[in-house]
């Protein structure tokens, strides 16, 4: 009887430990301020507040100056979710991952494209490589890797959803639930996460990151 009780207690303990150590989803942006984020703008005379602001839980970027806001921390092995929309005319932007320092416009990273009509494209910025299908893409400056399907984006004014899965072996992106790209063996496997400012107003919200085992 004691043996059965001991085994039961051991199983409960193992279950408790496994549940308590399971990676939890976190708000990458807290919805209130820019704590934990760093700003880089091509025109150093413009302050971050001249390009980025927050209103009712939404990040608004006016796009007047090329640049980005990036996480202060470095991330690897995660699932990232971001919502975006064009409040006016659709234009160009991106979610950039695995950014390598130093900061510059544009930094060495892999872009998950947000350009209107092209969301789901990959762009290798700076030196890097990644395999997609049977092709190995290498870059010294910019290399575009087209998405799999026709655009799955919503019209201007409506919210779009990006789901990006980044591991040491692959980068996978879904646009509004549609698998649009899948790359293998990326040369950049970890780094900062960036939201891009590039010419037109764009808005972001619900930026969440879930660590993966």
Q: Is pLDDT above 90 for 70?
A: yes
pLDDT digits (tens, 9 = 90+) for 74-87: 999 999 999 999 99
Class of domain 25-211: mainly beta
For the chain, which residues make up each domain, given as ranges? 25-211
Enter the pTM of the model: 0.88
Residue 182 burial (CB count, 10 A): 16
Q: What is the pLDDT of residues 160-179, one digit of tens each?
A: 999 999 999 999 999 999 99
State the greatest distance between any 2 C-alpha atoms of the chain, in Å, as a whole number: 76
Confidence of residue 25 (pLDDT cuts 50, 70, 90): confident
Characterize the bridge pairing of strands 108-113 and 190-197.
unpaired
């Amino acid at each position: 009887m004691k043996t059965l009780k001991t085994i039961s207690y051991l199983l409960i303990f193992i279950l408790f430990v496994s549940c308590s150590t399971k990676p939890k989803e976190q708000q990458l942006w807290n919805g209130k301020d820019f704590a934990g984020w760093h700003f880089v703008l091509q025109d150093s005379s413009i302050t971050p507040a001249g390009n980025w602001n927050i209103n009712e839980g939404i990040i608004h970027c006016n796009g007047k100056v090329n640049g980005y806001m990036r996480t202060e921390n470095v991330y690897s092995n995660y699932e990232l979710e971001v919502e975006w929309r064009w409040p006016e005319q659709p234009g160009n932007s991106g979610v950039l991952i695995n950014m390598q320092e130093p900061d510059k416009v544009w930094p060495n990273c892999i872009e998950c494209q947000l350009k209107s009509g092209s969301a789901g494209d990959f762009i290798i910025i700076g030196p890097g490589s990644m395999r997609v299908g049977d092709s190995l893409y290498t870059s010294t400056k910019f290399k575009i890797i087209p998405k799999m399907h026709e655009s799955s984006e919503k019209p201007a004014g409506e919210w779009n959803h990006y789901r990006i899965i980044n591991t040491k072996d692959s980068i996978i992106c879904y646009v509004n639930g549609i698998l649009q790209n899948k790359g293998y063996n990326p040369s950049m496997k970890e780094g900062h996460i960036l939201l891009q400012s590039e010419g037109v107003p764009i808005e972001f919200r619900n930026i969440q990151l879930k660590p993966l085992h």
